Structure 1
Amino acid sequence: MDTLTWISAAVALASAAATVLLGYWQQRRIAAVERLNYMDRYGASLAWAAFDLQSRLFNILGGRYLTLFLVHGTREDAELARRSTVFVIAEYLGWVEILRRDVQFLDLGSSGSNRQVMTQLSQIAETFNRSTARHDELRLFRIQQRAIGSVMIHPNGEPGRRRCLDYAEFCERLDTDSRFTAWFSELLADVDVIAADIAPAEQRLQALQRQLVELINLLDPDAIRFPQFHRQVYTP
């Protein structure tokens, strides 16, 4: 093989290698942009779910919501209070599971804000998971949190376009699907226990409410979706 042939082969090989390398980096860039888009899209929904849950916890801790509707309200009021309280817990866990599936936490890059969100989600999960010697109202082990999150994901979805069941769909499943209802029976009973005496669960609820507000601050740092006065941490 003469020198010209060698040079031509080397150029062709280098060109092929450059093409492969360029294609690889393009795919990496597309994947990174896609994950960031998912994080932005799902992060907004997660922020709303966290807001609804912390708001409900704030009202429960203030002694108003469950006392007014579940203890002293009509039968319809009581059922709404019971189910909607469990729903806001389940919806939050659903969006956490969606984010876990589609964004893949361990592949989010070096973003400091993403790491902070991951840390905060882990702290909230640990507070749900924490067990006490005598009272475990609203305790959910991590595997239960993921299972509830999974059953809350609407079946007609795909990566980047998933959503949680809405409240009407949630109630319909409770009424018609015994396997679905089984995941929530203890939580529904726990709401009644807390309505009768919040003291045993107060420490967990206060920690969750505070941590959820911190999560909202991470997801909405410029207070675009939620003004600061809507992010009050409950203080006894």
Structure 2
Amino acid sequence: MLDVRQTVNMRPEIVIAIMSAAVSLVSGVVTAVAAYRTTVVAHRLQEKTHERTKSELAEELFRRYREPLLWSAQALQSRLYNGISQGFLARYLRCGNAEDERYVVDNTVYVLAEYLGWLELLRRDQRFLDVTAIRSTRDLFAIVGQTQHALATDGLDGPFRLFRGQQRAIGELMLKGTESTSGPTHEVLGYAAFCARLDENPSFRAWFDRLRSEVPAIESAGHEGNRRLIRLQDTLVELVHLLDPNDLRLPQKQKSQLRADNPERIPQALRAPRTRLNKW
């Protein structure tokens, strides 16, 4: 190490060179620290942007499917409510009018199949998204899962049991290709196209033969024999409330639950309180 006397005796150009080297070293350290801080800040901004993008994508998924899910869930829950508690099926299944008798069977199966078709489209669109990014999609998929469980479980009595794979297969059968401004896409079959395929396509009809044959059992089984469909209807109403929390699209009187309307006739297992999902 140089002492003061050596430094004093140094030639000016050497002193200047040493000082320049020191300044360069300090400058390099400062630059490195600044670059590190810039990298950290940029990474944090990128993470926030990524999180915002995930939330935006999840919110867009909800907005896209809100209306079709609402109306298909409402159509199914309404048919179950009227069929089990309001005598709709009893009135038309054996009314003597062949057209009405077929309608009440095929349309009852259709509203179930239509709902499963929209679930299949929803499943396809959410495959690569983080559906937990926002509360709305978390709640949506939680309650949709409850409706799927009601159909699939063997712990509840009643018609229309469909395992998860069968639910998906029916959902796939209910889709048709179409063109949009963004390119090829899919939509769910309408009732007329559904009936036409039942008449014209034996392999398509085979997937629905059992369900069609079980429609009369809904009417004859009463509340005790329809535990599955009572649970399904009850959960579908919760889905409708979730999608229309302020009754802007459907009045409250059209969202009646079988469990709530007939507590003395519903088995205790179906009357047990369940955790309500958040509404938004």
Shorter-chain TM-score: what band? 0.7 to 0.9
Identity, % of aligned positions: 34
Using a 3 Å threshold, how does the CA distance of structure 1 residues 181 and 25 change in structure 2: closer, same or farther? Answer: farther
Alignment of 1:206 with 2:226, yes or no, is no
Using a 3 Å threshold, how does the CA distance of structure 1 residues 73 and 116 change in structure 2: closer, same or farther? Answer: farther
Question: What are the residue-to-residue correspondences of 1:127-142 with 2, within 5 Å?
Answer: 127-131=150-154, 136-142=158-164
Q: Provide the rounded CA distance (Å) in 1 between the counterparts of 2:83 and 2:175.
A: 26
Q: Which residue of 1 aligns with 2:250?
A: 226
Alpha-carbon distance, 1:35 to partner: 3.5
Question: What are the residue-to-residue correspondences of 1:1-236 with 2, within 5 Å?
Answer: 29-30=52-53, 32-104=55-127, 106-111=130-135, 113-131=136-154, 136-156=158-178, 162-195=186-219, 197-199=220-222, 201-234=225-258, 235-236=261-262
Q: Provide the rounded CA distance (Å) in 1 between the counterparts of 2:74 and 2:50.
A: 35
SS at structure 2 position matched to 1:163: strand
Q: Provide the rounded CA distance (Å) in 1 between the counterparts of 2:202 and 2:69.
A: 27
Q: Which residue of 1 aligns with 2:265?
A: none
User: Given the two structures, how large is their TM-score scaled by the length of structure 1?
Assistant: 0.82
Contact 2:93 2:105 in 1 (8 A): yes
Alpha-carbon distance, 1:119 to partner: 1.7
Alpha-carbon distance, 1:160 to partner: 10
Farther-moved stretch of structure 1 (98-107 vs 78-87): 98-107
Q: Could you give the per-residue CA deviations for residues 137-189 of structure 1, whole angstroms, max 9, x where no partner exists?
A: 21111111111111112222689954211101111111111221111111001
Contact 1:151 1:180 in 2 (8 A): yes
Contact 2:158 2:229 in 1 (8 A): no
Which sections of structure 2, spanning at least 5 residues, go unmatched? 1-23, 263-280
Q: Which has the higher contact order (CA 8 A, sep 6+)?
A: 1
Equivalences, count: 232
Q: Could you give the per-residue CA deviations for residues 174-227 of structure 1, whole angstroms, max 9, x where no partner exists?
A: 1111221111111001113334x1236421221111111111111111111111
Alpha-carbon distance, 1:123 to partner: 1.3
Q: Provide the rounded CA distance (Å) in 2 between the counterparts of 1:73 and 1:123.
A: 38
AA of the residue aligned to 2:118: W
Using a 3 Å threshold, how does the CA distance of structure 1 residues 106 and 32 change in structure 2: closer, same or farther? Answer: closer
Q: Could you give the per-residue CA deviations for residues 117-151 of structure 1, whole angstroms, max 9, x where no partner exists?
A: 22211111111112269x65211111111111111
Using a 3 Å threshold, how does the CA distance of structure 1 residues 159 and 28 change in structure 2: closer, same or farther? Answer: farther
Which sections of structure 1, spanning at least 5 residues, go unmatched? none
Q: Provide the rounded CA distance (Å) in 1 between the counterparts of 2:208 and 2:217.
A: 14
AA of the residue aligned to 1:48: W
Q: Which runs of 4+ in 1 moved over 4 A?
A: 14-32, 157-161
Q: Provide the rounded CA distance (Å) in 2 between the counterparts of 1:139 and 1:217.
A: 24
Contact 2:158 2:218 in 1 (8 A): no
RMSD: 3.2
Q: Provide the rounded CA distance (Å) in 2 between the counterparts of 1:115 and 1:150.
A: 23
Q: Could you give the per-residue CA deviations for residues 7-48 of structure 1, whole angstroms, max 9, x where no partner exists?
A: 99xx99x99999999788767655642442221121211011
Q: Provide the rounded CA distance (Å) in 2 between the counterparts of 1:107 and 1:225.
A: 25
Contact 2:159 2:226 in 1 (8 A): no
Q: Provide the rounded CA distance (Å) in 2 between the counterparts of 1:115 and 1:179.
A: 36
Q: Could you give the per-residue CA deviations for residues 42-75 of structure 1, whole angstroms, max 9, x where no partner exists?
A: 1211011000001001101124211111122411
Using a 3 Å threshold, how does the CA distance of structure 1 residues 46 and 173 change in structure 2: closer, same or farther? Answer: same
